Amino acid sequence: MVDIRSGTDGALGHAEVEDVELYHPHSWWTRYVFSQDAKIIAVQYASTAIAIGMVALVLSWLMRLQLGFPGQFAFIDAERYYQFITMHGMIMVIYLLTALFLGGFGNYLIPLMLGARDMVFPYANMLSYWLYLLAVLVLVSSFFAPGGPTGAGWTLYPPQAVLSGTPGGKDWGILLMLSSLILFIIGFTMGGLNYVVTVLQGRARGMTLMRMPLTIWGIFTATVMALLAFPALFVACVMMMFDRVLGTSFFMPAIVEMGEQLQHGGGSPILFQHLFWFFGHPEVYIVALPAFGIVSDLISTHARKNIFGYRMMVWAIVVIGALSFVVWAHHMYVSGMNPYFGFFFATTTLIIAVPTALKVYNWVLTLWRGDIHLNLPMLFALGFIVTFVNGGLTGLFLGNVVVDVPLSDTMFVVAHFHMVMGVAPILVIFGAIYHWYPKVTGRMLNEAMGQLHFWVTFVGAYLIFFPMHYLGLIGVPRRYYEMGETAFVPASAHTLNEFITIVALIVGAVQIVFLFNLVWSIRHGRDAGGNPWRATTLEWQTPETPPRHGNWGKELPVVYRWAYDYSVPGAPEDFIPQNQPGPDNLTRETAT
Amino acid sequence: MSVTLIFLAVIAAIAGWWLSQQRMLSKPWLEVGQHHDTRPQGPRPIEPAKIGLGVFLAVVGALFTLFISAYFMRMASTDWWSTPMPKLLWLNTAVLASGSLMLHAAKVSAERHRDDASRTALIAALALGLAFLVGQVFAWRELTDAGYLLTGNAANSFFYMITGMHGLHIIGGLIALSRTILATRKDPIDAKATLSITLCATYWHFMLAVWIVLFALFSGWANDFIDLCRQILT
């Protein structure tokens, strides 16, 4: 136990600045393009992810057009529809959400929030981005390849994924998809090592683990999970590549294709499902945990109150991370399994609801009697809580084997995972962008455009996905290109589908306002100053805004307190930055 | 997937042990000014590169564990015929192990400032690494000549794929080793180059361990061992 309040003026003699071997860019190219500065890499990651995300958004429009107005658009045939589904799902989950949370926010916030000059391995960090970009380009190239992209569904289940009945199965589509995923995973591993080791080794003096903002806890835990879970996808991709290119039979059973007996035999499609979901379920939390962390910080900052139950929040993040590795087979109830396995996985699945619910309570209790500023980050954070609770509740339905089996192939599942893993994290991403944009650019985003963006997105998302639960309950199947006539689905379901499609078009279009806002505000936004939200965490205490290369000028910050000293009784202001030593003897202990 | 779960349990135990040192029960809101940094303070904390390599090896471990899990699950199918192991693999194992020994010698020599001995050991390790790869290719040739082709049986497929993946990791290690050798040309070998040697040695020991596990797996001893465990447990 060391008391670092030494020195006569109450302030500590700053940590001697070591000879940090910082890479110094020498030209425009190395400063802005092949940069090793985590902040530039973060912007590169985020821009690429948003760009490819817009492609996925347009794909969802096309799918909705087909579902709302079947047969009206001749160019959307069944093959294209499945290609759109596949690419939409894969892009959104991996290339947008994972890349934006970890590559984008991770790169920007980890060094700044921890008081480090940069990531510990800047060169690997740069490579990570360029491999990611390459992965995205390979993925996009499949749109132009013979046969088009793969239409195997984002789960890429064999044997159908590599057969001629599936678009891209015998063409380039599936190969490009697998190659792209392999590149992404290699690139991510390079970045992920950086994030983990920077948290372990790069923290400023006094920044103990229990003083880290929850954003960092979320990103850190998610990165550890991703490092352990992505290898499963890697293995699955490599083995499927072997099956498809070299004719092995890892996943391929004896099968007749177009009246012709194939060479394969004995392979196990279930093996692929195990590998895929061993990655796939942690992936949900790889996306959710950074969102949890970020939303905790947004709520605390904009309600001017310390986060309720900080320790429990940290433990919950760690427990969720650990539990999420033992629930994967709940995606495979309908594949057939030993009932005891089903029982085990249903139990673990439902147990995850405990730490998750705990987090929701703590967010709500943080808001309780807080000085809530209903600005844009707060609006998005509130939107997230509501949406996440909704999506989480339907998750309890689907976690039960007996309820899942009839609902598994209906729109109910689509509604569930879009609420919990689509809309909810995206709302956090928006909130986070409105929150940290002033630090990245030095200017505020336009408020009016932001309000329009929030209300249309939030209300619109509910208008899209709420009715979808109902469609699922009455039995409308998912993955179907065309429903045709059925005895059990009433005609009104079609009207509802049209309505959903129209709302989806509007919600998609309003994202253009957001993109315009991002670009417009770089020059025309209101000047933000260094700490517009009067926040405590270190990234708002940099000497310059936007922070320069090296972040902190000559001296690294020293941390004296946790990240949530808002509205401390007796303090001159309603926030005390983490690197501020005084006011002395003013703690919550003496205050309460 | 039980192999993977065991691997994860080990990782979780390490993570849990580490977290238990981090005062996860402290009340940070009461601790203003005081800091309880458990990290070693002072001019020479643990090198980030060492931690980085440790995390990377955990990822590589997860990768091979998942391959092994897949191997066991696929093995349950009725069309499984084990691939006979060429005798050459024993020699290859010995070569890889001596490479590991050489790197250990290089590390110890560099730490004791016997620079020339260290350089010689590094070159020897590089040569042994290359010899291992050549040996693996010959082992492949021996199998294909005997008619055990990649697509012949899933056991063959796994053998070629997993040894190939191990070989790729060895190639990566050889690249790092070559860079280290270039870094040691300066006289005397500085702290940075010594660190590189240490990292190479750790990586090599790890890849040797992975290879021994894989060799045991392909030879079927891993099976016998698991059967034994199963008998004890039931």
CB atoms within 10 A of CB A524: 10
Query: Closest Cα of chain A to B204: distance in Å?
Result: 19
Give CA–CA dist A421/A419, Å, rounded.
6
B contacts of A314 (beta carbons < 8 Å)? 24
3-state secondary structure of A527: strand
User: B43 — phi, psi (to 5°)?
Assistant: -70, -25
Q: Shortest CB distance from A322 goes to which of B12, B26, B73?
A: B12
CB atoms within 10 A of CB A283: 26
Give CA–CA dist B5/B15, Å, rounded.
15
Question: Percentage of chain A with pLDDT > 90?
Answer: 71
Chain B touched by A182 (CB under 8 Å): no
Query: Closest Cα of chain A to B160: distance in Å?
Result: 11
Q: Which two tokens stand for residue A172?
A: 């380039």
How is A40-74 classified by DSSP, letter by letter?
HHHHHHHHHHHHHHHHHHHHHHHHHHHHHSTTS-T
Q: Which two tokens stand for residue B17?
A: 């042990």
The answer to the question of residue B18 being in a domain is no
The reported pLDDT for the residue numbered A335 is 75
Domain coverage including residue B171:
48-233
The reported pLDDT for the residue numbered A14 is 40
- 3-state SS, one letter per residue, for B21-53: CCCCCCCHHHCCCEECCCCCCCCCCCCHHHHHH
- Of all residues in chain B, the one with the smallest CA distance to A274 is B1
The answer to the question of residue B134 being in a domain is yes
Q: Which of A394-408, A431-445, B26-40, B144-158 has the highest mean pLDDT?
A: A431-445
Mean pLDDT in residue range A53-65: 96
The reported pLDDT for the residue numbered A22 is 59
The answer to the question of residue B178 being in a domain is yes
The answer to the question of residue B25 being in a domain is no
More confident residue, B22 or B16: B16
The reported pLDDT for the residue numbered A425 is 96
How is A110-140 classified by DSSP, letter by letter?
HHHHHT-SS-S-HHHHHHHHHHHHHHHHHHH
Chain B touched by A581 (CB under 8 Å): yes
A contacts of B35 (beta carbons < 8 Å)? 2, 4, 205-206, 208, 559-560
Contact A66, A76 (CB under 8 A): yes
In chain B, the N- to C-terminal Cα span, in Å, equals 19
Of A188-202, A396-410, A422-436, B62-76, the poorest mean pLDDT is in: A396-410
The reported pLDDT for the residue numbered B34 is 61
Mean pLDDT in residue range B21-31: 86
Chain B touched by A1 (CB under 8 Å): yes
The answer to the question of residue B52 being in a domain is yes
- 3-state SS, one letter per residue, for A106-118: HHHHHHHHHCCCC
Question: Confidence class of residue A442 from pLDDT cuts 50, 70 and 90?
Answer: very high
Over chain B, what is the mean pLDDT? 90
Give CA–CA dist A174/A150, Å, rounded.
5
3-state secondary structure of A147: coil
Written as one letter, the residue type at A14 is H
What's the structural domain count of chain B?
1
Distance of CA A568 to the CA centre of its chain: 33
Question: Confidence class of residue B144 from pLDDT cuts 50, 70 and 90?
Answer: very high
Of A220-229, A329-338, A413-422, A451-460, the poorest mean pLDDT is in: A329-338
| For residue A99, pLDDT beyond 80 | yes
| For residue A96, pLDDT beyond 70 | yes
**What are the extents of the domains in chain A?**
33-212, 540-591
Question: Percentage of chain B with pLDDT > 90?
Answer: 69
Q: Which of A438-442, A491-495, B183-187 has the highest mean pLDDT?
A: A438-442
Contact A394, A412 (CB under 8 A): yes
Residue A434: its H or E element:
helix A424-441
Interhelix angle A214-241/B48-75, rounded to 10 degrees, is 40
Q: How high is the ipTM of this complex?
A: 0.94
Least Cα distance to A223 among A246, A200, A191 occurs for A191
CB atoms within 10 A of CB A164: 14
Q: Model's pTM, two decimal places?
A: 0.93
Distance of CA A383 to the CA centre of its chain: 16
Cβ within 8 Å of residue A271, ≥6 positions away: A250, A251, B70, B73, B74
Query: Closest Cα of chain B to A171: distance in Å?
Result: 21
Q: Which of A184-188, A200-204, A571-575, B220-224 has the highest mean pLDDT?
A: A184-188
3-state secondary structure of A575: strand
Question: Confidence class of residue B44 from pLDDT cuts 50, 70 and 90?
Answer: low
Tally C-beta pairs within 8 A across A and B: 170
**Cα dist. B142→A86, A262, A358, B137 in Å?**
42, 28, 60, 9
Do B70 and A250 count as a contact with CB atoms less than 8 A apart?
Answer: yes
In chain A, the N- to C-terminal Cα span, in Å, equals 24
The reported pLDDT for the residue numbered B159 is 95
Question: Confidence class of residue A16 from pLDDT cuts 50, 70 and 90?
Answer: very low
Chain B touched by A265 (CB under 8 Å): yes
CATH number at residue B211: 1.20.120.80
Chain B touched by A14 (CB under 8 Å): no
Q: Shortest CB distance from A587 goes to which of B32, B38, B49?
A: B32
A504-524 tens-digit pLDDT: 999 999 999 999 999 999 999
Where residue B113 falls (left for φ over 0; alpha for ψ -120 to 50; beta otherwise) is: left
More confident residue, A231 or A552: A231
Give CA–CA dist A121/A318, Å, rounded.
25
The answer to the question of residue B10 being in a domain is no
Question: Confidence class of residue A350 from pLDDT cuts 50, 70 and 90?
Answer: confident
The reported pLDDT for the residue numbered B203 is 97
A241-255 tens-digit pLDDT: 999 999 999 999 998
The reported pLDDT for the residue numbered A121 is 93
Do B55 and A5 count as a contact with CB atoms less than 8 A apart?
Answer: no
Contact A89, A149 (CB under 8 A): no
Do B35 and A234 count as a contact with CB atoms less than 8 A apart?
Answer: no
Mean pLDDT in residue range A324-346: 80
- What is chain B's alpha carbon radius of gyration, rounded to the nearest angstrom? 22
CB atoms within 10 A of CB B121: 23
Q: How many CA atoms lie within 13 A of A108 on its CB side?
A: 27
Query: Closest Cα of chain B to A403: distance in Å?
Result: 26
User: A558 — phi, psi (to 5°)?
Assistant: -120, 140
A517-573 tens-digit pLDDT: 999 999 999 999 899 999 999 999 999 989 988 888 888 898 999 999 999 888 888
The reported pLDDT for the residue numbered A331 is 79
Least Cα distance to A481 among A167, A180, A111 occurs for A167
Give CA–CA dist A501/A39, Å, rounded.
38
Of A27-36, A106-115, A265-274, A374-383, the poorest mean pLDDT is in: A27-36
